[in-house]
């Protein structure tokens, strides 16, 4: 079920007011690429938006974001999970798998094993864990649709791991809300600012802090064949070709990038109303 919590034998989820520390792990999706930038020049993203909401529930709340663009599942588990364990958070998000599925040589069993090992370690330390089942890429791109089967298999493994270890699951598979172009950057791979806002609402629902109103698809005017073809040509030149070139050179968009929030720290609350109500996500 989309946006569900799987209860484990270890007990139910923590009360939201008890979540005092949140660490976000993953790749560009969690780093927040293509969202608006903050004063430091780093992108905001759904995890920052979520952290701001959680901070309104607990004055002692602190947040770290270790995600780095381009990272694969083995890299996230090897580099970021140990750092997260040292921080001892009570809430962790782990969003991985899309970069693996895009590689020519993909081992779904190895990727799932990495996710399970990371989840086991985080849960054994007492953290609540949020996992992600990603959407069907064929809904937005015929080229990206070639990895639909890989994403579906990864999602199935993620749901099974969540059930086994008692994790929250944010499930985007089959969700029509993200079909609108306004929720995606022109590269068709990263979310736009509106998309990151929608993702933050999805996570809030999964955590039991929101509703399913975000799922309502937005009407979108159909584009004719000439417009679609022209858009595909522009996308291939601006985004597909550079991506392929990096793969050939064995380079990553994350080379030289460091985490934007490597340590737990309080969260600023832009958009707070005079009454002190929750900020707009």
Across the 281 residues of the chain, what is the mean pLDDT of every consecutive 10-residue run?
41 63 97 85 93 94 97 97 98 96 91 98 97 87 78 96 98 88 80 94 95 78 52 50 55 76 90 41 58
pLDDT at residue 12, rounded to an integer: 44
Q: For residues 272 and 275, give the distance between their C-alpha atoms in angstroms, rounded to a whole number.
A: 8
pLDDT in tens, 9-52: 334 445 556 799 999 999 999 999 989 887 778 899 999 999 99
- The full set of domain ranges for the chain reads 4-221+258-265
pLDDT at residue 235, rounded to an integer: 47
pLDDT at residue 180, rounded to an integer: 85
pLDDT at residue 181, rounded to an integer: 83
pLDDT at residue 239, rounded to an integer: 46
Q: For residues 66 and 276, give the distance between their C-alpha atoms in angstroms, rounded to a whole number.
A: 29
Fold of 4-221+258-265: Rossmann fold (3.40.50)
């Amino acid at each position: 079920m989309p946006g569900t919590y799987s209860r484990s034998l270890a007990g139910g989820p923590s009360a939201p007011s008890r979540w005092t520390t949140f660490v976000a792990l993953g790749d560009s999706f969690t780093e927040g690429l293509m969202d608006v930038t903050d004063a430091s020049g780093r992108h905001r993203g759904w995890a920052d938006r979520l952290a701001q909401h959680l901070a309104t529930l607990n004055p002692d709340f602190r947040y770290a974001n270790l995600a780095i663009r381009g990272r694969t599942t083995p890299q996230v588990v090897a580099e970021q999970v140990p750092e997260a364990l040292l921080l001892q958070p009570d809430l962790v998000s782990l969003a991985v798998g899309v970069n693996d599925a895009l590689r020519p040589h993909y081992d779904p069993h190895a990727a799932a094993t990495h996710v399970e090992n990371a989840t086991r370690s985080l849960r054994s330390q007492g953290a609540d864990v949020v996992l992600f089942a990603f959407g069907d890429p064929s809904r937005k791109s015929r080229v990206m649709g070639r990895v639909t089967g890989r994403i579906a298999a990864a999602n199935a493994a993620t749901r099974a791991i969540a059930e086994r270890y008692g994790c929250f699951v944010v499930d985007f598979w089959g969700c029509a809300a993200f079909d609108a172009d306004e929720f995606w950057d022109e590269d068709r791979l990263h979310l736009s600012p509106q998309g990151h806002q929608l993702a933050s609402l999805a996570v809030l629902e999964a955590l039991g802090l929101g509703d399913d109103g975000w799922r309502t698809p937005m009407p979108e005017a159909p584009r004719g064949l000439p417009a679609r073809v022209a858009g595909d040509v522009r996308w291939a030149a601006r985004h597909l070709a550079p991506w392929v070139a990096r793969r050939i050179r064995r380079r990553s968009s994350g080379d030289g990038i460091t985490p934007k929030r490597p340590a737990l720290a309080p969260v600023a609350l832009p958009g707070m109303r005079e009454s002190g109500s929750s900020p707009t996500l």
